[in-house]
Structure 1
Amino acid sequence: MRYSQTIAGTTHEFDGLVELMAKATPRRSGDELAGCAADSDAERAAAAWQLADVPLSRFLDEPLVPYESDEVTRLIVDTHDRTAFTEIAHLTVGGFRDWLLEIASRSDAGERLARVGAGLTPEMVAAASKIMRNQDLILVAAAARVTSAFRTTIGLPGRIATRLQPNHPTDDPRGIAAATLDGLLMGCGDAVIGINPASDSPRATADLLHMLDDIRQRFEIPMQSCVLSHVTTTVDLIERGVPVDLVFQSIAGTEGANKGFGVTLDILREADEAGRSLGRGTVGDNVMYLETGQGSALSAGAHLGTGGKPVDQQTLETRAYAVARLLRPLLINTVVGFIGPEYLYDGKQIIRAGLEDHFCGKLLGLPMGVDVCYTNHAEADQDDMDTLLTLLGVAGAAFVIAVPGADDVMLGYQSLSFHDALYVREALGLRPAPEFESWLARLGMADGGGRILPVDPGESPLLPLAAGR
């Protein structure tokens, strides 16, 4: 179907939803690289205007990625809840935006948004986000309520959790232990202590998992650990009796991009079942940890949709959330600035993408977090990350990632520091996950309000970690 919109005497034509969605997207370098971005601000405005008039039901009839050739599309279509969709089926994209903003102001907003969530496809949610201002994305996301649990509860109102990321370029246990101690003393680690291993060696992964599980048991920490090896490596370790808490995998929004990661939906389902079979959770049984990022499908050359046209990177990112929703994860985060300036050029684009991803993930029922980050060759700096972190705290992000000094020495990119997590909790009155907060208070590391207390490391009960013992 062709779409057209006239602005100031100029008529702009768009050949199908794929092109209309791409042209309506706020400017970003990845879409320009793919050749699908609007050629001018006027064309972008015309596309957004036209997109606002598209009925939500059109997305059920005009798939952006063909059903026959893509298992993610088949998942989206085959699991769509038409009963839940009934409440909003009469709306256009613009009408849906207005409905979301009206619902967000109500006391029962969380329940209403959750009720329609199963009736939303990723493409509907992505379309609405394209015509929303940043404040709209924040307001609606803050009203949405999504929780998950394993040994801590993630996503509760008034709380923000952290992934403690103690990466080391050689997986040195002493370096990892030192970074872990640093983070725990600053109240980080309630989402997960998650290590990106320097290699995908099963033996190295097993050694790190045993180390983290030993730390958990010795200090009686209500936490979950994860070594971010490939999902098949982790499943093999589960079968060998290694103490696995969370099963990690990067995912994307097309079948081809997921194949580039070495996974299919069946492999992911089996991994989820394997993790749940261990029964290691204490307050819940969500066991998957998933990561996504705008631009992953394009970087894999798996970004083409109906008619061979490139699908914009933000829509493909949102389609990855359909895969995540299938797996009911404990944690999912977009690594928003990690892939590089080829996809998100500067701080402005990274901030916008982070808010979009968070909004879309929460609306689709996910405990959405964000790695607030950038690479050193992007036109961004830590002030941009301060801004995005603050906005995400207001928007109710489930968790963020923190590394020593905000500088990941293994992956070579800039994220948040443990101090940044303290900042956002203090500035916005947010607290750690309740189980973790109780542990901090029991050790004298937090007060009754969840605020982290200054502790002399030499007097800390965690001191053995500093010596690698």
Structure 2
Amino acid sequence: MGWTGTVGGHSYRFDDLRDLLAKATPPRSGDVLAGVAAESAAERVAAQQALADLPLAHFLDETVVPYEDDDVTRLIVDSHDAEAFAPVRSETVGGLRDRLLSWETDTDALTALAPGLTPEMVAAVSKLCRVADLVAIAAKTRVVTGFRTTIGLPGRLATRLQPNHPTDDPVGITASIVDGLLHGSGDAVVGINPATDRPSTVRALLELIDDARRRIDAPVQSCVLTHVTTTLELLEQGAPVDLVFQSVAGTQAANRGFGVTLDHLAQAQEAALGLGRGVVGNQVMYFETGQGSALSADAHHGVDQQTLEARAYAVCRAYDPLLVNTVVGFIGPEYLYDGKQILRAGLEDHLCGKLLGVPMGVDVCYTNHAEADADDTDTLLVMLAAAGCSFVICVPGGDDIMLNYQSLSFQDVLTARQVLGLRPAPEFETWLASVGLLDDVGRVPQLSPAALPALTGGLS
């Protein structure tokens, strides 16, 4: 088996599906590092031509990671919905792209199609899309979830308030939470990356957020982004766990590197559901992913990093999450070299997740040794907001002082909401108005003296 593409009178041979998908991928440094990237633009175009003509049904016959070796592959194959796939079964990858872009394919059609698509199919389609296509298709793809707030509704852009602190200092974390709330942030989750994974510290942080939520009567959900096994231990102790967090990847070996199995995720989901802490819904899982994670663990099986990222969304989809986000520029320039690669990867990840029925958000970010800056994050934020992104991550000043990387600030999201006419999650919006944090036209005031006593007094 294999495929041939011809460009400029020269023929290029692609040995198998892994090779074809990798060579068709737009440029990124991680694929060069892995030795799977196209060696020239001409070879890339030839691969994209061959990929466009590939029948979608072929993805059900050939796997990129062997079924017998990988539980993620088994999950993808065994959970495939043949009935949902039937409307596009006779399509090629190029034909599916055209269908997704057509006026006739609306939100309802995309929702019905999601269980019939595999990660490799949506990754393949994204490789044929220009940036505008990635935005256009995603903008009409909708995934709505809920816990205390409803995430993913049209015309809304939610935020994760990330009040990290290098020593897990409760005063510093509380100050960042107040800062975020005063800027209308936190409707997706108040989520802390702890500096230590000690169960006692994690529990103290969970109790800090839960106490703050109760004092100010805010409809927010909390999460401390510790390992799932730590969360399981705390669930058994009766800690106030809203959301269970775990980083996941697209192969069994990469997940093993994270110290997690699919059984761990199922156990944690069941335990958290048993608490019944949700109000408008009870979706209790929160996952993070990132292009390059499998390669960094030497667990990529020769597959390009964007296809493996899409496979991670199959893991997420299996556990009905409230939130999923790709930390798109966090792993470093070895995997996404510059702002252009980060921009495209963020839009690819967002589209692929939503096409699979996953509630996608993005950490619009970069590390300080990448060839990127705040202009790149501004551009990606606006494009994601236009594409209907469920949520983005915000940190005070756009600078995470614990993880030492650059993300979005609270003010950045206010700008995107204002420019594109977007609003917070409805339950959170109602609360903001009730404490004086929205003006008569739905904007967060520059100064909010009316809200200060309710927040600072309640959280002192």
1:440 is matched with 432
What TM-score do you get using the length of structure 2 for normalisation? 0.98
**Alpha-carbon distance between aligned partners in 2 of 1:465 and 1:172, rounded to the nearest angstrom:** 19
CA distance in 1, matches of 2:447, 2:75: 50
Partner residue, 1:307: none
* Cα distance in 2 for residues equivalent to 1:91 and 1:448: 50
2:93 counterpart letter in structure 1: V
The answer to whether the 8 A contact 2:364-2:392 is kept is: yes
Correspondence list, 1:241-280, <5 A = 241-280=238-277
Inter-partner Cα distance in structure 2 for 1:347 and 1:203: 39
Does the Cα contact within 8 Å between 1:445 and 1:454 map onto a contact in 2?
no
- What TM-score, normalized to structure 1? 0.97
1:135 aligns with 2:132: yes
Residue 18 (structure 2) pairs with residue 26 (structure 1): no
Q: What displacement does 1:455 show?
A: 3.2
Alpha-carbon distance in 2 for matches of 1:249, 1:239: 17
SS of structure 2 residue aligned to 1:461 = helix
Structure-1 residue corresponding to 2:358: 366
1:171 aligned residue (146, 168, 173): 168
Deviations 1:144-183 (A, max 9, x none): 1110000000000000000000000000000001111100
The structural deviation recorded for 1:228 is 0.4
**Is residue 202 from structure 1 mapped to residue 194 from structure 2 by the alignment?**
no
Q: Tell whether the 8 Å contact from 1:147 to 1:156 is kept in structure 2 after alignment.
A: yes
Asked if 1:431 is matched to 2:457, the reply is no
Deviation at 1:453, TM superposition (A): 1.9
Deviation string for 1:333-352 (max 9, x for gaps)?
Answer: 00000000000000000000
Mapped partners of 2:79, 2:315: distance in 1: 11
Equivalent residue of 1:118, what SS? helix
- In structure 2, relative to structure 1, the CA distance for the partners of 1:349 and 1:195 (3 Å cut) is same
Which residue in the other structure is 2:101 paired with? 101
Residue 2 of structure 1 pairs with residue 2 of structure 2: yes
Instruction: Give the superposition deviation at 1:449.
Output: 4.3
Cα distance between partner residues in 2 of 1:54 and 1:414: 39
Which 5+ residue runs of structure 1 have no aligned equivalent?
305-309
Corresponding position of 1:226: 223
The amino acid that maps onto 1:398 is S
Distance 2:457 2:308 in 1: 42
Report what 2:64 is aligned to: 64
* Equivalence for 1:289: 286
Contact 1:432 1:450 survives alignment (8 Å): no
Q: Are the equivalent residues in 2 in contact too, given 1:181–1:462 (CA < 8 A)?
A: no
Residues 457 and 463, structure 1, Cα contact 8 Å, conserved in 2? no
> Bigger shift: 449-458 or 238-247?
449-458
Question: What is the SS of the residue equivalent to 1:57?
Answer: helix
Quick check: 2:157–2:391 contact (8 Å CA) kept in 1?
yes
How much has 1:444 moved relative to structure 2? 1.1
Instruction: Work out the CA distance in 2 between the residues paired with 1:179 and 1:428.
Output: 26
What residue number does 1:403 align with?
395
Once structures 1 and 2 are overlaid, which stretch shifts more, 270-279 or 407-416? 270-279
Stretch moving more, 441-450 or 143-152: 441-450
Deviation at residue 458 of structure 1 after TM alignment: 8.3
Cα deviation digits, residues 378-420 of structure 1 (max 9, x gap): 0000000000000000000000000000000000000000000
Deviates more, 1:147-156 or 1:235-244: 235-244
Give the secondary structure class of the aligned counterpart of 1:169.
coil
What is the aligned-residue RMSD (CA, Å)? Answer: 1.1
CA shift for structure 1 position 457: 5.0
SS at match of 1:162: strand
From 97, 102, 108, give the equivalent of 1:111. 108
Q: CA deviation at 1:33?
A: 0.2
Q: Which amino acid aligns with 2:297?
A: A
Q: In the alignment, which residue of structure 2 is the partner of 1:421? A: 413
Cα 1:406/1:393, change in 2 over 3 Å: same
Instruction: State whether residues 27 and 341 of structure 2, in contact with CA within 8 Å, keep that contact through their aligned partners in structure 1.
Output: yes
Letter in 2 for 1:23: K
Structure 1 residues 449, 323: CA separation in 2 closer, same or farther (over 3 Å shift)?
farther
User: Distance in 2 between the 1:113 and 1:96 partners?
Assistant: 11
**Post-superposition shift, 1:13?**
0.4
Q: Distance in 2 between matches of 1:146 and 1:224?
A: 18
Does the 8 Å contact 2:353/2:360 carry over to 1? yes
- C-alpha contact (below 8 Å) 2:436/2:450 kept by paired residues: no
- Counterparts of 1:313 and 1:459, CA distance in 2: 45
What is the distance in 2 between the residues matched to 1:321 and 1:275?
A: 21
Confirm or deny: 8 A CA contact 1:162 1:402 kept in the other structure. yes
CA–CA separation in structure 1 for the residues paired with 2:208 and 2:224: 11
Contact 2:435 2:450 in 1 (8 A): no
**After the TM superposition, which of the residue ranges 286-295 and 454-463 deviates more from structure 2?**
454-463
Instruction: Show structure 2 runs of 5+ residues with no match.
Output: none
Counterpart of 2:45 in structure 1 is 45
- Paired with 2:379 and 2:445, the residues of 1 have a C-alpha distance of 25
